[in-house]
């Protein structure tokens, strides 16, 4: 419980620090009521994610909140600021760089929490699940910002919604009594995840031409669709792990 409270305090401080920076950069005009509403809505989704992850971990034992999990929780808190840009859209001057910098910071911290977990031999189911959900939420928020800025076509939302559609499909199958199977470990998922992070970061950079951003976004759709399609075949039993390295 103490670590959970510490992570919550660290998250609040992170959001406050980023918000204060926005005030300085934009001369007090960045944090409008609409911006705050976007952050609040994103925070609601984040709290739901934390609740789901904790319940999932509780089924197999007591959730273990380590230093690495704290870093992951802070990543999620920082990503919440992107929710404000989803509502208000872009900005001019230095603030226009904030979405890309925020998402870049979240991506960098993603490597940090994994390193800390391995270094301290504190890899846990709870931490792994939290890491995946924070990645998914940050990616969705960043893509929503990119679409809101008209930097990428609307179809790019598929990249951000793919995981949630996948999870919903699994939920429907289980509720209707159809079998589901465990996903085998594959390096492909990490590669596609890293590629997605890199592309989303680039399309958020203000100086990247819209034509280039759109081309990168459309190019990313194919590997993402392929990866989720193959995983869906695995979890439904249509594809097995025997003699399969994809």
Cα separation, 120 vs 106, whole angstroms: 21
Query: Per-residue pLDDT tens for 24-33?
Result: 555 555 557 7
This prediction has a pTM of 0.84
Q: pLDDT at residue 121 above 80?
A: no
Helix (H) or strand (E) holding 26: none
Mean residue pLDDT of the chain comes to 81
**What pLDDT is stored for residue 39 in this prediction?**
79
Q: What is the pLDDT of residues 64-98, one digit of tens each?
A: 667 777 788 888 888 888 888 888 877 777 778 88
For tokens 């465990």, the residue is 182
Helices (H), the chain: 2-25, 33-58, 67-79, 82-88, 98-119, 125-148, 157-175, 187-204, 210-235
Q: Are 99 and 83 in contact (CB under 8 A)?
A: no
């Amino acid at each position: 419980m103490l670590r959970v409270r510490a992570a919550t305090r660290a998250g609040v401080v992170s959001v406050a620090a980023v918000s204060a920076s926005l005030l300085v950069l934009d001369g007090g005009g960045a944090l409008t009521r609409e911006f705050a509403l976007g952050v609040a809505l994103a925070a609601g989704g984040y709290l739901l994610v934390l609740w789901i992850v904790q319940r999932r971990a509780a089924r197999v034992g007591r959730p273990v909140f380590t230093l690495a999990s704290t870093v992951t929780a802070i990543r999620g808190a920082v990503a919440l600021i992107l929710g404000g840009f989803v509502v208000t859209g872009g900005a001019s001057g230095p603030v226009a760089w904030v979405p890309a910098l925020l998402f870049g910071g979240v991506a960098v911290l993603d490597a940090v929490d994994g390193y800390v977990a391995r270094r301290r031999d504190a890899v846990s189911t709870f931490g792994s699940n939290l890491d995946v959900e924070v990645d998914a939420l940050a990616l969705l928020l960043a893509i929503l910002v990119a679409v809101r800025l008209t930097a990428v076509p609307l179809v790019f939302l598929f990249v951000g919604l793919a995981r949630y559609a996948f999870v919903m499909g699994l939920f429907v199958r289980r509720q209707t009594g159809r079998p589901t199977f465990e996903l085998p470990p594959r390096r492909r998922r990490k590669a596609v995840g890293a590629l997605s992070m890199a592309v989303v970061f680039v399309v958020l950079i203000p100086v990247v031409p819209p034509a280039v951003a759109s081309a990168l976004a459309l190019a990313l759709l194919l590997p993402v669709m392929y990866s989720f399609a193959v995983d869906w075949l695995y979890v439904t039993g249509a594809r097995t792990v025997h003699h399969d390295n994809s």
